[in-house]
Structure 1
Amino acid sequence: MASEPVYKVIFQNGNQVFEVFARQIYQSDMWGFIEIEEFVFGERSQIVVDPSEEKLKNEFAGVKRSYIPLQAVIRIDEVEKEGAAKVSENTAREGNVASFPFPGANLPQPSED
């Protein structure tokens, strides 16, 4: 019997980049969002605790389903097994991660002649 797939989802939330693992991911019925369910976190069999993973584990504790805006998604990978979930700061000032432009964002303003 084949094991259930695991997905690594990397997305931006404000000035932070989240990397989480989940068993279910699909396009939402709510337009412009993806849904992430069944979050997977590493087992606590190690003595060393990763504070970044613990922060994510606490943030998503009790969350059944999370809706992520499509423009926030950086990458989605199907992986062999889960890894450590992480939160990192987006330190790039003009980096290569940006919100998708929306219509009307940079339109010239009418002159008052």
Structure 2
Amino acid sequence: MSSKDKQDPVYRVVFQQQGEVCEVYARYLYQSDLYGFVELEELIFGDRSPLVVDPGEEKLRATFAGVKRTFIPMHNVYRIDEVESVGTPKVTDSLEPDVKSNISHFPRSFRPPRDEE
């Protein structure tokens, strides 16, 4: 396989930002020199189509307009995947209604009933 056949990897990064879950695609991903951060360069957005407008993608495009490099705290990152092709960047609420119903908290403490005599 020649070097021309090998493409640069594309990374899908899913992270939380201000109560929303964001999924973005980037060409370069590094562990940052800033301790505790992941560094993303060359964010990839799909081609703009006048017929179909995705509000989530437009929000991300506006948020990262003019950004050369972004630093995301490691504790906000849910997942990083190396993918073969670029998908659609998106923003979703972190607590969707169907997910809320499946969440149950583990009891923090259990005190047995006291015997009163």
- Percent identical: 52
Which segments of structure 1 move beyond 3 Å, counting only runs of 4 or more? 92-96
Q: How does 1:28-43 map to 2 (within 5 A)?
A: 28-43=32-47
Q: Distance in 1 between matches of 2:50 and 2:16?
A: 28
Q: 2:75 aligned to 71, 77, 81, which one? A: 71
What letter is aligned with 1:51?
P
- Following TM superposition, by how much is the alpha carbon of 1:45 offset from its aligned partner in structure 2, in angstroms? 4.1
Spell out, residue by residue over 1:42-96, the C-alpha distance to the aligned partner (whole angstroms, 9 max, x if none). Answer: 1124621111001101110100010000000000000011111001111155988
Q: How does 1:2-81 map to 2 (within 5 A)?
A: 2-45=6-49, 47-81=51-85
Q: Distance in 1 between matches of 2:7 and 2:39?
A: 21
Question: Over the residues paired in the alignment, what is the CA RMSD in angstroms?
Answer: 1.8
Greater radius of gyration (CA): 2
- Following TM superposition, by how much is the alpha carbon of 1:14 offset from its aligned partner in structure 2, in angstroms? 2.2
Residue aligned with 2:22, SS: strand
Count of residue correspondences = 96
> Normalised by the size of structure 2, how large is the TM-score?
0.76
